[in-house]
Amino acid sequence: MIPAAFEYKRPMSLEEAIRYLAERGSDARVLAGGQSLIPAMRYRLAQPAVLVDINQLPNLRYMQQEGGMLTMGALVRDTDVEFDKNIQSRYHLISDVSRVVADPIVRYRGTVVGSLCHNDPSGDWPAAALAARAQLVIQGSRGSRVESIDDFIVDSFTTSVGEGELVVEVQFPIPSARTSGAYEKIERKVGDFATAAAAIQIELTEAGMIKDVGVAVTAVAQKPLRVAEAENILRGEKPTLDLIRAAAAEAAKIADPNPDARGSAAYKKDMARVLVGRGLIKTLGRLGVVVA
Ligand SMILES: Cc1cc2nc3c(=O)[nH]c(=O)nc-3n(C[C@H](O)[C@H](O)[C@H](O)COP(=O)(O)OP(=O)(O)OC[C@H]3O[C@@H](n4cnc5c(N)ncnc54)[C@H](O)[C@@H]3O)c2cc1C
């Protein structure tokens, strides 16, 4: 199908983009990489009256480390992340994710921020952002605000971005030398959305105890989920196999998946457990810890 008719705006400044969005309210949608919005329009699942294409906005395709944060502008593509040497060496969770989102063609256009804004219940970036405790900078005509990923993710395909607003950047805390992470995803074939996936980030103390931990799952509920009980079980403890088993079991408890062509609800629930366990073991391995 071809999309319903729409107006197309191509602002050259952030102010102009926000003005269009504010003027047209719920009729307007931001167009970033178009990898989710355009298919949705073609299937007539979305029929925005106005598209505000942000691809010409200056200075939104950057990645920089400042103030303890890695910041990524709204036009950073998945491939920018995938091939960045600093990401590959320091940001293990983010690097893992950047290699398994969709396929190379989609990753060449799709943006990290666009994926977060789309907030697909099976999206890879929202789970990673939860585990890494990311935050987003949202800009509107009355100024900007910073929102934690937990507050940003509201429901399936729904975020806290209001009418007349857009996200200008996502910020990830810079990991310490004793921090690592991993992303475990099962998919039917390369390029598919997850059947289930788990995002993990762990920071150890000098003595090898778990100082902080992020655990999130995707494709197993109405929205990507933080597994807070797993984090509570792990935080402050010495990593052991029993502890990992107990934490991973929490993922199955809160998973509430829909059965579909990718698997039954019972299978996906169990995969949430398995993938959290695998992700924890892989992350600890990357930190030089072999659990027994
Ligand atoms: C074949 C195919 C396979 C895919 N497989 C996967 C997969 O395995 N895993 C996965 O996670 N995703 C997958 N995707 C989806 C895709 O990776 C992302 O959803 C996509 O990259 C979203 O980013 P975008 O820049 O293309 O956003 P767009 O499609 O341009 O926009 C998506 C939504 O976010 C809004 N938006 C975008 N940017 C902003 C902003 N800065 N501020 C406010 N709102 C904004 C738009 O208005 C729209 O509602 C797949 C897509 C395709 C076509």
Q: Rounded mean pLDDT of 50-75?
A: 97
Element (H, E) at 126: helix 124-131
| R_g (Cα) of the chain, nearest Å | 19
Ligand 1 centre distance from Cα of residue 111 (Å) = 7
Q: Name which residue sits closest to atom 12 of ligand 1, judged by CA.
A: 123
Residue 58 inside a domain? The answer is no
Within this chain, do residues 139 and 201 fall inside the same structural domain, yes or no? no
Query: Is there a single domain that holds both residue 46 and residue 88?
Result: no
Identity of the amino acid at 211 = K
Domain boundary among 113, 145, 173: 173
- On whether both 246 and 155 belong to a single domain, the answer is no
Indicate whether 111 pLDDT > 90.
yes
Q: What CATH number corresponds to the domain at position 45?
A: 3.30.43.10
**Residue 144 located in a structural domain:** yes
User: Is residue 292 domain-resident?
Assistant: no
In a domain, 47, yes or no: yes
Averaged pLDDT score across all residues of the chain: 97
What burial class does residue 112 get, using C-beta atoms within 10 Å of its C-beta: 0-12 exposed, 13-18 middle, 19+ buried?
buried
In ligand 1, the atom with minimum distance to the C-alpha of 192 is 8
What is the percent of the chain where pLDDT is above 70? 100
The pick from 78, 118, 192, 220 for probing ligand 1's pocket by mutation, whose C-beta has the most ligand atoms within 8 angstroms, reads 118
125 and 212 inside one domain:
no
- Structural tokens at position 63: 């990645």
Name the β-bridge partners of 135: 148, 171
Read off the pLDDT band of 175 (50, 70, 90).
Answer: very high
Q: Mutation test of ligand 1: which of 8, 10, 35 has the most ligand atoms closer than 8 Å to its C-beta?
A: 35
Which residues, judged by CB distance below 6 Å to any ligand atom, belong to the binding site of ligand 1? 29-37, 39, 74, 101-102, 106, 109-111, 113-115, 117-118, 120, 123-125, 161, 166-167, 191, 193
Q: pLDDT tens, 195-219?
A: 999 999 999 999 999 999 999 999 9
Q: Tens of pLDDT along 223-268?
A: 999 999 999 999 999 999 999 999 999 999 999 999 999 999 999 9
| Domain identity same for 209 and 167 | no
Whether 134 is covered by a domain: the verdict is yes
Note whether 101 and 187 are same-domain residues: no
Query: Is the residue at 1 inside a domain?
Result: no
What's the average model confidence in pLDDT over 27-49?
97
Q: Is 291 inside any structural domain? A: no
Collect all residues with Cβ–Cβ distance below 8 Å to 283 and sequence separation of at least 6. 92, 93, 180, 181, 182, 200, 201, 202
pLDDT (tens digit, 9 = 90+) per residue, 163-174?
A: 999 999 999 999
Alpha helices, H only, 2-56: 14-24, 37-42
Residues 189 and 245 in one domain: yes
Q: Which of 173, 193, 208 is the last residue of a domain?
A: 173
What is the per-residue pLDDT for 292?
82
User: What's residue 86's pLDDT?
Assistant: 97
| Atom 49 of ligand 1, residue of closest alpha carbon | 118
CATH number at residue 136: 3.30.465.10
Give the residue, out of 45, 115, 169, 223, with the most ligand 1 atoms within 8 A of its beta carbon, to mutate for a pocket test. 115
Helix (H) / strand (E) containing 169: strand 166-173
Q: Does residue 110 share a domain with residue 149?
A: yes
Query: How far is the centre of ligand 1, averaged over its atoms, from the C-alpha of 39 (Å)?
Result: 10
Alpha-carbon span 99 to 81, nearest angstrom: 9
Is residue 77 located within the same domain as residue 166? yes
Task: Please give the average per-residue pLDDT across 55-64, as a whole number.
Answer: 97
If DSSP codes are grouped into helix, strand and coil, which group holds residue 249?
helix
- Expressed in angstroms and rounded, the spacing between residue 137 Cα and the centre of ligand 1 is 18
Checking if the pLDDT of 1 tops 90, the result is no
Q: How many domains does the chain have?
A: 3
- 2 occurs within a structural domain: no
Q: Give pLDDT, residue 212.
A: 98
Range(s) of the domain holding residue 241:
179-286
Judged against a pLDDT cut of 90, whether residue 279 lies above it is answered with yes
Q: How far is CA 276 from CA 13, 95, 140, 197, 202, in A?
A: 42, 17, 37, 8, 12
Q: Are residues 153 and 192 in the same domain?
A: no
